[in-house]
Amino acid sequence: MFRVITAVLAMGVSIGGIASAAQAQDAPKREIVQISGDLYRFQNKFHYSVFLVTPAGVIATDPIDADAAQWLKSEIASRFGKQIRYVVYSHDHVDHSSGGEVFAADGAIVIAHENAKRTILGEKRPTAVPQITFKKRMTLELGGKTVELRYLGKNHSDNMIVMRFPEERTLFAVDFLPVQTVAYRDFSDAYLPEWIESLARVERMDFDILAPGHGQLGTKADVTAFREYMSDLTGQVLEQARMGKSLEEAKAAVDLSKYSDWAQFEAWSPLNIAGAYQRIQLNRRGN
């Protein structure tokens, strides 16, 4: 946690302050930190989103959950005197998209990838249904400010988008490119070859600051490092699978030690190997 706070402070000015001792011990950690210019990062426990303040109102992103969204809405009203005009979901997963109805109730327009709308309806996600969807790319303009929304293909889900804030030189990207952290567990909802291609597309985009959905801020070098991790992981696991090795044999043979200083390496890298092995076996059977 200390590392997260120092990394954030190094790149911006804290306007939220660190949770005071007066707050209940079990109250979720919530904080707003300026990333650059008019772009701010919102933290709710281990989840993060961003929002852009413009003269005509605010563009919010992942609401995270209804309580978090309620808190953020009142903080934006009191600190900036602005209404939330748009809310953009990074992807459908419930721990990021929940709570959109809190913003929509005040007239915010909800935007997401077209596949996200399908899943939000199909899985009855507890959030507002997107009113505007897109397939590849969309530019959102408000109060003279711009946000570029892009779909980069399937990766951690089939409906993940990234949001680029050109004036702030920042990219908001959730769950498919953690910063100095291995991938989350065993790739339960994942598309592995396309995932690596999405990362390469991010590397070709124009930004300096990477604002992920979890953990510390990063840079484009972190995207390259994570693409290399995913290539190493899937390349080595594929080699083992082609040699007919079992999962246990693959786990013993795959060497990811050059990433051993990354967060969650001990806990999740064996799960990453297992998840990649299962996905690769499915692909090799033509499923």
Q: Is 92 in the site for Zn ion (CB under 5 A)?
A: no
Considering beta carbons, is residue 85 or 93 the nearer one to Zn ion?
A: 93
d(CA 83, CA 70): 13
Q: How far is the CB of 67 from Zn ion (least distance, A)?
A: 19
**What part of residues 171-190 is at the interface with Zn ion (CB under 5 A)?**
175
Q: SS3 of 260, please?
A: coil
100-111: burial string, b at 16+ Cβ within 10 Å, e else: bbbbbeeebbbb
Binding mask 37-76 vs Zn ion (x if CB under 5 A, - otherwise)? ----------------------------------------
CA angle 257, 212, 24 (to 5 degrees): 105
Q: How far apart are CA 225 and CA 222, in angstroms?
A: 5
Q: How far is the CB of 41 from Zn ion (least distance, A)?
A: 18
Residue whose CB is less far from Zn ion, 101 or 189? 189
Query: Considering only 36-44, 167-175, 191-199, 266-274, which stretch makes contact with Zn ion by CB under 5 A?
Result: 167-175
Least separation, in Å, of the C-beta of 50 and Zn ion? 16
Residue 93 binds Zn ion, judged by CB under 5 A: yes
Binding residues for Zn ion, how many (CB under 5 A)? 2
C-alpha span between 134 and 123 (Å, rounded): 20
Q: Are 224 and 180 in contact (CB under 8 A)?
A: no
Which CB sits closer to Zn ion, 210 or 241?
A: 210
Q: How far is the CB of 156 from Zn ion (least distance, A)?
A: 5
Which range of residues in 86-94, 103-111, 221-229, 252-260 is near Zn ion by CB under 5 A? Answer: 86-94
Please say which residue, 53 or 110, places its beta carbon nearer to Zn ion: 110
Report the nearest approach of Zn ion to the CB of residue 223 (Å): 17
Taking CA 162 as the corner, what is the angle to CA 157 and CA 168, rounded to the nearest 5 degrees?
160
Q: Which is nearer to Zn ion, 65 or 175 (CB)?
A: 175
Q: Minimum CB separation from Zn ion for residue 143, in Å?
A: 30
Distance, in Å, from the CA atom of 87 to the CA atom of 103, rounded to the nearest integer, reads 7
Name the residue number minimizing CB distance to Zn ion: 93
Record the tokens describing residue 88, joined without a space.
């953009």
Per the CB < 8 A criterion, the answer to whether 65 and 46 are in contact is no
| Rounded Cα–Cα distance for residues 260 and 229 (Å) | 11
The binding site for Zn ion (CB under 5 A) comprises 93, 175
